[in-house]
Structure 1
Amino acid sequence: MAVPTRPVVYSFSDTSNLSDSLAEYIIKAQRESVDKRGRFTVAISGGSLPKTLTALISKSGVKWDKWHVFYADERVVPLDHEDSNHKLAQDTLYSKVPIPRENIHTIDESLQDDLEELADAYEKELVREFAQKDSARFPVFDLILLGVGPDGHTASLFPGHELLSENDRWVAYIEDSPKPPPRRVTLTFPVINHAARVAFVATGVGKVQILHDILDTPELGLPAARVRPVASGQLVWFVDDAASVEVKLAKSEFKL
């Protein structure tokens, strides 16, 4: 049986240093993935995360034509809606870099009236990208980038919700999200925990208590604490000193 990965925590004095180091980490992951398989598969969540990725814009060595971007979760709204994770990523990142449009894998907004059909369609999108290239039961992303909410949720996996026990589907839908908008689709834990690398980003004093709860007391079972890549997967946290002030888990010096 595979042993879940223990988290490595990198804490930075400010968000600028964090963003720069996260960019270097992503580029290293990209380089290794492209060298092995000729592509780089990444899933991102919403919130403040896309803005943190803007440090990549000025970096050399980013092979945008090799990127295939998916969403760890998405709000079920039109893609140009202010609540859309895709719109935020488009405005802050994609519009400023030469990533091929066909390499950005969005939900099919024409299906938003039927959440089950929408989730199935996005799962089929993953199947097209992964099933013929990988033999694993679940897709193996090269990197999944996640944030964490003040309640410990990540992607659209919320405390106490039935989706926490979903073990079969790659993509699931939620229509009663405690955080608006209520209708969303999300990658499930089996997909997240089969990734080669998972990186969380959390900053600010508003995350002090929840980071302590997740990293120091994982037995509480908060959704973000359930992210533990199996086998040889990496689990890293990029946090700032303001957020990690109460974290007792030993912090590591960031090195590539």
Structure 2
Amino acid sequence: MGSRPPNLFVFSTVDILATNLRTYIVQCQTMALNRHDVFKVAISGGSLPKTLAKALLAPPTSPEDTIRFDKWEVFFADERAVPLDHEDSNYRLLKDELLDKIPTDAGKPTVYPIDVNFLDDAQELADQYEKLLVQSFAARDSVKLPLFDLLLLGCGPDGHTCSLFPGHPLLRETSGWVLPIEDSPKPPPTRITLSLPVVTAGLRIAFVATGGGKKDIMKKIFEEGNGLPCALVNEMAGDRCTWFTDSPAVEGVAFPRRGSL
């Protein structure tokens, strides 16, 4: 369990949020490159890639502010069992919003999409993606869990994150790294997702939640918990978890705000 509570930052506009999110990501990148000369990141879908693009495609304000895309290894925190060019694909979403727009002189990240040869077998799709993690994070028998340098996540209106949904049996998984789900309450029903232990083991975890439509669920996450997946991440990761929100998303939420990064 996290020893200290998560960090909640609230910004007046999404543009200011994006600027601060960039600063945070650069800090995580610097720590990772100093540690092992690569930056291992897991990213979810939804509205997150658009905000990431706003943060990461801005020109650097100093040499220290440079995004070293050539050092990034990008994995997907969850993915839908659809072709990579399908409108429901998180890969396609990230590609359209961010990857295709990275300037050529900024370098290109190494990106790990799902193996579309296994779209008809959710378990095998998950197993194959787990093999990618094993290859990247060393032999499975020597590593209990992959330690991402940063996970960039969203928060659904029901409190789900990745494809971990409230009350779902997958929340009880303790050893698997990548899990199949064939009964997602949100379409499409068949997906794969990082497990809760993998998410909460991350060295840094950042949630992005914006808009007034999030305020009811944010109140439940921060004031009640109730086993909601986002609340479980808060509880298990503690201050390794940081929330980037705008004012409408946390209106009426009783939880201490952080003043600055």
Match of 1:173 in 2: 180
1:56 correspondence with 2:56: yes
CA contact (8 A) 2:159 2:229 kept: yes
Distance of aligned partners of 1:109 and 1:233 in 2 relative to their CA distance in 1, 3 Å threshold? farther
Q: Is 2:71 the counterpart of 1:66?
A: yes
Partner residue of 1:75?
80
- Checking the alignment, whether the CA contact within 8 Å between 2:42 and 2:75 is kept in structure 1 is yes
Q: Greater shift after overlay, 164-173 or 231-240? A: 231-240
CA contact (8 A) 1:204 1:243 kept: yes
Residues 75-104 of structure 1: per-residue CA shift (max 9 Å, x gap)? 110001011000010011111115536x10
Letter in 2 for 1:247: V
Instruction: Report the count of equivalent residues.
Output: 252
Match of 1:126 in 2: 133
Change (3 A) 1:135 1:187: same
TM-score, structure 2 normalization? 0.92
Q: 2:112: which partner in 1?
A: 105
TM-aligned CA deviation for residue 131 of structure 1:
1.9
Pair 1:226–1:252, CA change in 2 (3 A): same
Distance 1:162 1:126 in 2: 23
The list of structure 1 runs, each at least 4 consecutive aligned residues, that deviate by more than 6 angstroms after superposition, is none
Change (3 A) 1:170 1:4: farther
- Residue pair 1:5, 1:230 contacting (<8 A) in 2 also: no
Aligned-pair identity (%): 48
Can you list the C-alpha shifts for 1:80-132, whole angstroms capped at 9, x where unaligned? 1011000010011111115536x101100111011111100000000000025
Distance change >3 Å, CA 95–CA 52, structure 1 → 2: same
Instruction: Identify the residue that residue 207 of structure 1 maps to in structure 2.
Output: 214
Q: Relative to structure 1, is the Cα distance of residues 5 and 90 closer, same or farther in structure 2, using a 3 angstrom cutoff? A: farther
Pairs within 5 Å for 1:1-256: 3-54=2-53, 55-60=55-60, 61-97=66-102, 98=104, 99-100=107-108, 103-132=110-139, 135-218=142-225, 220-228=226-234, 234-255=240-261
Which residues of structure 2 form unaligned runs of 5+? Answer: 61-65
Deviates more, 1:38-47 or 1:131-140: 131-140
Q: Which amino acid aligns with 2:123?
A: E
What runs of 5+ residues in structure 1 fail to find an aligned partner? none
Task: Give the Cα separation in 2 of the matches to 1:239 and 1:143.
Answer: 18
Indicate the residue corresponding to 2:63 in structure 1.
none
Once structures 1 and 2 are overlaid, which stretch shifts more, 151-160 or 91-100? Answer: 91-100
Secondary structure of the residue aligned to 1:100 is coil
The AA in structure 2 aligned to 1:203 is T
Superposition CA RMSD, Å? 1.8
TM-score with structure 1 length normalisation?
0.94
Task: Indicate if the aligned counterparts of 1:6 and 1:228 stay in contact, CA closer than 8 A.
Answer: yes
Task: Measure the CA separation in 1 of the matches of 2:151 and 2:141.
Answer: 17
Structure with higher helix content: 2
- Indicate how the Cα distance of structure 1 residues 231 and 245 shifts in structure 2: closer, same or farther if over 3 A, else same: closer
Q: Is the 8 A contact 1:196 1:233 kept in 2?
A: no
